[in-house]
Amino acid sequence: MACVALLLLLSVFTPSRGADHTVWDRSGDGQPAAHPLLYFEPRDVKSLRQKARGSHSSVSRAIRTAVKTMLAKNTIYLPPADHQDFSAKWNEVYGNNLGVLSLYCLLYPEDADALEFTLTYLDRMASYPRWQVRTAPNDEVPVAHSLSGFATALDFLYPVLDEARRQTYLEKIHAVTVELYEFSKYRAWGKHFLHNHQATNVLALLIGALVLSPHQPQTALLCKQFAIDVMEKTMFLLDHVVDGSLDEGVAYGSYTSKSITQYVFLALRHFNLNHTASPWLRQHFWFYYATLLPGFQRSVGIADSNYNWFYGPESQLVFLDRYVLRDGSGNWLAKQIRRHRPKDGPMEPSSAHRWCTLHTEFIWFDPQLVPRPPDHHGTPSLHVFSNWGVVTYGGGLPNGPGNTFVSFKSGKLGGRAVYEIVHGSPYSWIDGWKNFNPGHEHPDQNSFTFAPNGQVFVSEALYGPKYSYLNNVLVFGPSPSSQCNQPWEGQLGECGQWLNWLAEEAGSSGGELVTAAHHGGMVFTSGEAAKAYSSAMGLRSVYRALLLLNAQTLLVVDHVERSVDSPLERASSFFHNLDIDFKYVPYSAPGGLNGAMMDVWDAQYKMFWFDPSGSSPEPRLQDTEQAAEFKKRWTQYVNVTFPLSGPVSRMAYLFHGPYVRVSDGRFLDDGGHGLKVGLTVNGTPVVVSLATRHSDPSARFSYLGFGGYAMVEEPHQVTRFGLGITAVQGRRSVGAAFFHFGMTVKATVAVGLCLGLGLVATRCRFHLSFGKLLRLAMLIAVTLWLVELAVLWTTCRQPLCGANWTGGDPGPVPSQWDPVLGKMSPLVVASLPGSGAEILEHLFANSTDFLYVRLPMEETGAAEMDPFLDACEWKGSDAQQGRYRLVQGWLQSLVHDTKLHLQNAPMHPGARGDATGDNPGGSPDKKRKTRRKASSADRRYRENAERNADEVHQLRRHLASYPNARVVLSLSSGAWTLKLPFIQGVLGASTRTMLVVRDPRAWVHSLLFNSKPSLYSLSNMPRRLTSLFQRDAAEACSPPSAYAFEFERHRRHFSSSSKNVVALLAHLWLANTEAAMRVNGRLSAATYMLLKFEDIVNRPEEAAEKVYTFLGFPLPPAVLNKILFTTSTNLFHLPFEGEVSPSNLQVWRDRMSQQDISSIEDICWSAMAQLGYSRVTS
């Protein structure tokens, strides 16, 4: 950030390119040409007027409508003549409307009435002594709105203003800009990043400074320097938010993004600071699309929200399309929103906001980008906001049957990126929560909404006081730490107008989005929110799972686990709806279960609930009004309270629409590792299995049979969320099984009665003895019993048919369980050094499911191998024959008894002795040089040892918290690439193995050109290659047959007197890659995976899902967020390399000669083609 001032100074005196890559005109004194200058230049005005009558007519029509409305109702929209009236209420509307007014006057100069109205408007604004609101004297937000609009209007209308007005208006802009700058030094908004107040006020400061630049350059420079410093830090922080979200929600998010998009444009135009490749901007489109309920009118209401957006979002969308996306999707969504905007009712735009962004929408609109929806539009899809902690399903669709919307939130305070920055302190200029303000967030972890067929059934309560009961979350009682609503207590930070994020424990609160998966119209997502509640409540787990069974049916399950000393006795849930026309009423569900119903024009939306004991408490149906933005807002809710009995309590809630029949809701299992719920949906039996020990992969596997979190069993298929759907051939339903069983019983009884009558008749006729008759009856009974047993065997596969039914055999699942370990099998990763395998750490490290261990060669006891590369292949048979016992013992120790192995790992650097040796001879200079080298080497050794000791400490702590975490061995030496079959033979057939490969051109570049000194030099590659090829095959490996023949093919290239280093490394890559693919290709496809480094960087979500599916796990949102951050922000570096990002994958194209590239391609082409790499040279 220190270079921002220098960039600013240079920008004042250096011509820069604008957003459309046109060079600014400069006058002789180095200042910009005459106004307008903010968004365009005087020579662009004629073109803009032509566009208003042609390509931009859809936007200009909205502009004309806005201005005509203002002219027709001038008493409402014209600022009052009396300053007291102006300052008596929130007055941002006057600044907001100036942008569209002044642009209209510029586009339609013939409209004298509009110009006169605008000049009167500006005159009154300029005459006010201050722009503050009297009731909010410490809030500069309305001042910033006035300054932005006023300065923009002066810039647009400067050519038509007389000299007196120019002077008056400039003086006003100067005074307010300086005032705002002084306030920034001590007001909270001056230091609260990613908050709507800071973005609004700092942008106003920048706009004022830019307009002042030709007239007051010294003042303008000071203000620009501050504004750019703050906004550049904002953009830097936003780059950490890889899902494009804003923690304040969609409504306030649109407020903040209005200012951010304007800043990005102005920074590019005026200072040549280009942020259009920002990862946040690239994903920001989905913040508007995926949060839209069917019909394009209403957005998800997380945090302080109204029904949709405060500002825009048409302006933000056309900006994204023109400068970031370039695919027409932004124009398409803006068009849909404008077309479907409500004209009245609670969802119509506020009069203070509705026209605020029309001028920037017109300026940024690119008609050449033909509106088209994003790929796969029209089909409900799942979207995960991994940073925000929000999942949505069905966003961005039109109204229609089956277009259902579901949302779920369980996230960190401030969003994951801000939370980790606050608690990790990676930047010296961030002072914890003092630099952020999540006050607009709600106590809403584990909250959800449900709109079957687009009809809102369960919604948020929107903008209001921060009470947990106003959100669809659990509240507990009695609690000793309750701050309001005693004896009940909800989540941390509640009870005030704003979320109290600085209260004790609140700064560390938050939920965790555990999983989210979508298969065949069913959606499963879940979250853990125990840390969102006070520690005094003694809650060990507050786990909520949502399962959308079909477009009409949603199952919600709460799992609450308390500590022994928890004072809590009851849990109370709330379900809200804001539609005043449709009231909740009591409802009795099948089976005598209590429920509630909402009648929507004779279509009945129903809910009911139950616990494992079959209890279904009566609900309380209430409605209330609470303070919102500047008004009251009404909400109704269903309140259900369950008693908490024992350490674990579970409750299930079923919500369904009018076109589905749901009955037989009951718990089938209430075990320690999970639960099962049985339902009958439209006559079809369904069994839902949930693993509630969600942070224990072994517990999940033992309960579900795979490493996921939920499973749904139906008569003919099983859905394992995160893995997919398995069809079950010849499967019978519970009902069918019992039908056939019942018929068999009836038939058996009938046959028995007939035979009994026959025997009696026979005895009477033939005078048989009673003993003979009894033996005959017993023989017939045994025969019938065997027949019944055979029938039962074919109809029911459970020990007790119907008792705790799980749907029969769920079908084949790839083996992920190691019976020797008693937990899930390990994963072993190998690669050549420089292949980028280190990036996989971000898929596994600090995960509840994995223990990620990096293994340097020297720790394995394999002294005979070169740590960089080894040409000997070790087979599975070598493990069976007992070869390499030291390595076998080491691997088994690490995997089979990880805890003991880590306890015995050295924690302190040992003494290496005198590195200089006993050398009494030699000159004093040589002795000093030797001592300096020894001291430097010893220092590096100690630093590495301390780092390794710290890693061991972390591994011990992680294993103590998650004892069943799956071990991941990252073999950091290239010597292991030909030994994965041996490792699998040592660790067991269920061991998963992975080989990471890299484009040979990038690999050679990383070794030779990516660092100074190069990895080639640091690794002493010449000596290693000499050692590798100076021995023949018989001497290189034991037994000699283990020598990989691919290396022998290339021996002559390494023994050649004229060695080309690039060609040598290319041959080395080819020999190792071909040998590795041959050797490891013999492994089972279920246990071996070849992964390209480029796939991880270019398609991180797809590659991460592929890796996790290979391991039998769903991809957790937290891991998705981490890998997206690693690959898209330019903030992660590989060892000896620069930033990792898709754009940096191809740096070898610019830094290597065409001759070297062609040489590598010619040598390595056989393997490159097999791996899917393409040539760049002919």
Checking phi first, is residue 882 left (phi over 0); if not, alpha (psi -120 to 50) or beta?
A: left
Radius of gyration of the chain (CA): 35
DSSP label at residue 189: G
Looking up tokens 């019942």, which residue turns up? 742
Cα separations (Å) of 72 from 42, 67, 618, 657, 1175? Answer: 30, 9, 55, 46, 66
End-to-end CA distance of the chain: 44
Q: Write out the two tokens for 719.
A: 């859905």
Contact 860, 884 (CB under 8 A): no
Rounded to whole angstroms, the Cα distance separating 1153 from 316 reads: 43
Cis (ω within 30 of 0) for the bond into 36?
A: yes
Q: How many C-beta neighbours within 10 Å does residue 1008 have? A: 21
Residue 1033 CB partners (closer than 8 Å, separation 6+): 1040, 1043, 1045, 1048
| 845/864 Cα distance (integer angstroms) | 30
E strand or H helix at 829 = strand 827-831
CB 445 within 8 A of CB 499: no
For the record, the structure tokens of 871 come out as 């040409």
Q: Is 556 helix (H, G, I), strand (E, B) or coil?
A: strand
> Nearest 5°: CA angle at 628, between 622 and 632?
60
Are the C-beta atoms of residues 457 and 596 closer than 8 Å to each other?
no
Contacts of 778 (CB under 8 A, 6+ apart): none
Spot the catalytic one: 169, 252, 469, 584. Answer: 252
Q: Which residue, among 1039, 765, 1002, has the nearest Cα to 881 in the 3D structure?
A: 1039
> Distance between CA 303 and CA 106 in Å, rounded?
39
Q: How far, in Å, CA of 425 to CA of 429, rounded?
A: 9
Amino acid identity, position 304:
D
DSSP assignment string, 1007-1060? HHTSSSS-HHHHTTHHHHHHHHHSS-HHHHSSSGGGB-HHHHHTHHHHH-SS--
Q: Report DSSP state, residue 410.
A: -
Amino acid, res. 334: A
Establish whether 376 is a catalytic residue: no
Tokens linked to 735: 């009902």
Residue 259 identity = S
Q: Find the catalytic residue in 56, 174, 195, 197.
A: 197
- 252 is an active site residue: yes
- Phi/psi at 564 (nearest 5 deg)? -60, -35
Our answer to whether residue 197 is catalytic in this structure is yes
Tokens 């009951």, residue located? 666
Run of H or E residues at 817: strand 817-818
Q: What angle do CA 247, 572, 704 make, to 5 degrees?
A: 75
Angle between the N-to-C axes of helices 57-72 and 112-127, in degrees from 0 to 180, rounded to the nearest 10: 60
Give residue 120's identity as a one-letter amino acid code: T
Residue 764, both tokens:
């009477």
Q: Are 712 and 687 in contact (CB under 8 A)?
A: yes
Kindly give the residue spans of alpha helices, DSSP state H, lying in 272-357. Answer: 279-289, 314-320, 329-340
Cα 140 to Cα 99, 132, 609, distances in angstroms = 19, 7, 49
**Catalytic entry in 255, 323, 463, 587:** 463
What SS3 class is residue 560?
strand
- Give the number of other CB atoms < 10 A from CB of residue 760: 11
Residues annotated catalytic, as ranges: 197, 252, 463
